Each structure stands twice: as C-alpha cells, then as structure tokens.
Amino acid sequence: MTDSTVAAPALLAWVCKELGARPSIRDVSHARRNSRVWELVRPGGARFYLKVSPQPLMYERETFALRHAVPALGADRAPQLRASSAEHLALLLTAVPGRPLREATVTPAEEARAHRQGGVLLARLHAAGDVSGVRRTEAERALRAGADGADRHLRLAGDRLTPEERRLVRDLAEQLHSLPPLPLAFIHGDARPRNLLWSQPLAQAGWIDFERARFATVAHDFVRMSCDVWPDRPDLRAACLQGYGRDLVPEEQCALKALAALDAVSALVPGQAHDDPDVTASRGRRTLDRLMAGVLA
C-alpha cells in the first residue's frame, strides 16, 4: 500500500475519529508481500498501530482473537483492539513494549528468558478460548484437514521434492489419521521469533500478529518454532516448554513431525507463501532435509 493510499480520506478519517486527533504516520510494514502496518503517534506521544489485513479471513481471525482470547495475555503483553473496520479490513491496535526478538540484540540468557515467557503467554492464550461445540469440531478437524491436503500440496510442489521425500511426507500425513484425540486450544497460529517481542528495559516478552489464530491442536502452535528455531537451539525449546508448563506428549510429538512436513511442502509451492517466497522456500527445504536425516523431532 502506498502512502497516498494510507492517507486516503475514508481510512484516515476513520483513524482520526477513533483516536480523536490526526496522528503522525510512519510506515512500518514488514518486508514481505501484503504487509501493511503503520505506526501512529497522537499529539502527546501515545502510540498505536494501524494494520490492514491482506484478506477478509485474516481480518476476521485477528479481530476474533483480539476480542475473545488475547486480552488474557495482559495489556502490555499483546496488542489490545482499539477499533476495527470491516470495510477497510483495518485494525487499530495499542502498542506493545519491545522489538521482535528476531531483530533484537540480546544475550543468550535474554533469548532464553524471552522464549520461556513466550511459552507462558501461549499457555494463557491456549486456555483462554472456549473449545466447545462447533469450535471443538473445528479444532478436531485441523489434523484431518492437514492430512487430507497432503496430496494436493505434493502435486503443486511438483519436482521440488524427490520420490523419497514424497513417500516420507505421505507416510507422516497418514499417521495423522490414526492418532488418538490430542489436546485442543485456541492457538496463535504463527508463533515464532518475528512475532515474539522482547523489551530489554522491562525484561518482558509479548506476542503480536494474530491473523492466523484459530481453534486447533496444541501441536499446531509449535510447528513454526520446531522448523525455524528448535533444531539448532534445543535450549530454546526447553525454555519455551518450561514456560508453557509441560512437554509435548508422544502423540503430540508425532503430530508435530507430520505437521512440520506438511508445512515444508506448502512452503515449496509457488504462490502459497505470504512471506518472502525465497525465505519461505528455504525454510521448507531445510525442514525436509532434517526430516530425511531424522533430526527433526
């Protein structure tokens, strides 16, 4: 989105009405496709963020999360929803102290502390959603949906996978059909260091970006970290799960491995990634290589 679009009369008028003043605006969008985020500073210095969702589903998911579960994390540990506009797919959010852990300069001890606190906050989020009725059905279907979509993703990935990798992914996906009922939760959906904030002055962590939040198994919320972080940093895995309050049971470990394989294949499908396609494809390739080598738990 260009600056002229940000300042379009309808959107800017909505922001000014909600804030009661015309703020200064700074583009802080991520360097990836469809990221549209701006820092707003009211006269007097109060900071907010304006986020325009890339698609209606993400807007609906994040709005629901911010209204019904995210407040359980605390006002300084996650954004609070000031206002939302379905017309603009826009969210007006309070600022959270800190910087994304991926961008922060931290000591190993601070990094471990951030992941431990991140685990504590995920436990709060997981417990905040009412997993009953149709929401329980949605969460229970999440594993089957992943397994049922394996052939489609493998077909779209084409020759980016070897025959051996295809067999492994199919075998892992098939295991999802035979697992017993797993713990269910309202999950963040994109829990990884770029969405985990760390404030050095406050020595505290917080989570942002809930556009993929939904009802699913607990295991779903650890897929990104099991692919991006944990293989090289088992200490951060231990810290996160210590904060979470428990380790994953063997059935969840099995599901996590299969979900990591499906995520890796999806990352190799052209046009599927909302992040930088090259970075996402690289993550998918690393995950498949680790699975083939038997080093991804």
The tokens describing 139, both together, are: 């969460």
Query: What is the reported pTM?
Result: 0.92
Per-residue pLDDT of the chain (297 residues; tens, 9 = 90+): 344 345 578 888 999 999 999 999 999 987 777 788 999 999 999 999 999 999 999 999 999 999 999 999 999 999 999 999 999 999 999 999 999 999 999 999 999 999 999 999 999 999 999 999 999 999 999 999 988 989 998 999 999 999 999 999 999 999 999 999 999 999 999 999 999 999 999 999 999 999 999 999 999 999 999 998 999 899 999 999 999 999 999 999 999 999 999 999 998 887 665 566 656 778 899 999 999 998 765
Lookup: tokens for 261 = 């394989």
Q: Are strands 214-217 and 184-187 parallel, antiparallel or unpaired?
A: antiparallel
Rg (CA), the chain: 20
In the CATH scheme, what is the code of domain 99-293? Answer: 3.90.1200.10
Domain ranges within the chain, ordered by starting residue = 3-94, 99-293
Task: List C-alpha distances in Å: 40 to 10, 23, 98, 107.
Answer: 16, 6, 16, 30
Angstrom distance (rounded) from CA 4 to CA 107 = 40
What's the angle, vertex CA 171, arms to CA 168 and CA 176, rounded to 5? Answer: 130
Asked if residue 63 lies in contact with residue 80, where contact means CB atoms within 8 angstroms, the answer is: no
Give the tokens for residue 19. 């804030």
Write down the CATH number for the domain with range 3-94. Answer: 3.30.200.20
